Amino acid sequence: MKIFSFLRIYDGFSFLVQMLAGVFKDLKYFLIFFLIFIIQFGIIFLVLFKAKEIDEYNGMNKLAYFLMAFRISSGDFQLDDFHSQENGLVVLTWLIWLVAVMTLYIVFMNFIITVISESYERVMQKLVLESYILKANMIFEREQFFTKDDFKNTKYFPSYIVVRRPLNATIKEDGEWQGFIKDLKNTIRTTAVKSKADIIQNSNLINQELSQILDEKITRLNQKHDLTQENSKQLDDQVKGLDLQGKGLDAQVKGLNANVLKIQKDMEFIKSSLSQILQNQNQLPRIEF
């Protein structure tokens, strides 16, 4: 471990040391869980094989079955002793072996690869920042051995301080997302952008269709309005013609009324004339023969 701490001084090795420390830090609970499964399957094989000694693990006694479980997890399968089982236990032994291969070799190995990939990606994303933090920690460790005179030395402690800060004041959120979470965030962002673009495109198409439909309806309404105006003009002309006809009829009626009055006057004159003639005839003396 001292060698690793000394290698941190060099930039090329500091990254590897930091990544290795981060991997073991991330794998500590996973390794404990993995060790529990190794012990569990080792006990199962110990019971199935009745704690018989295996020639390949000579001198290991009962620990040989735990080594067998670990070899299964690493993909090194040793199956020579399976045929020595009784007929009833052979099938059960093979089933346990299949479960051990699926759990220890396929599932756990993929988990380890995933965790190591996430640790590597996290270290790579914050490589410069982690290098400065590592150098600051090494400086702090070195200052633990300083004397009072060393703290007064202007070579070690000049009258200025170097501060590193980002050029942009805004903090990027991309550095806080690692592994699958970052991929998930990028996927959500791209999906949101695509869905937004699709929604905008669909809304534009809908607006165009609606505008076309509205234009067609407006043109139809304008045509109907023009037709109604033409019909109203025709009706106005007909009404004017009817008004003229009505005025002519009124004039004819007035003429007829005048004729009727004239006829009535003539009839009265005739009546008065006849009455006078009759009166005159009555007044004449009668001549008797």
User: Minimal CA–CA distance to 14: which of 132, 165, 118, 115?
Assistant: 132
* Token pair of 191 as six digits: 């999906």
Indicate if the pLDDT at residue 265 is higher than 70. yes
At residue 167, the pLDDT reads 57
Cα gap 80→90, rounded to integer Å: 12
| Angle subtended by helix axes 108-125 and 11-48, to nearest 10 | 170
- The set of residues, in sequence order, having a beta carbon less than 8 Å from that of 37 and lying 6+ positions away, is 73, 103, 104, 108
User: Averaged over 46-75, what is the pLDDT?
Assistant: 75
User: Averaged over 265-283, what is the pLDDT?
Assistant: 78
Cα gap 144→146, rounded to integer Å: 6
pLDDT by residue (tens digit) across 183-235? 677 788 888 888 888 888 888 889 888 888 988 889 888 888 888 888 888 88
At residue 85, the pLDDT reads 62
Cα gap 192→169, rounded to integer Å: 27
At residue 72, the pLDDT reads 79
Average pLDDT, the chain: 77
Q: Do residues 103 and 70 touch, judged by C-beta distance below 8 A? A: no
**Considering Cα of 56, then 46, then 66, then 95, what sign does the dihedral take?**
positive
User: Averaged over 63-69, what is the pLDDT?
Assistant: 79
pLDDT by residue (tens digit) across 123-178? 777 777 777 777 788 888 888 888 888 888 888 778 777 776 665 544 444 444 44
**pTM recorded for the entire structure:** 0.43
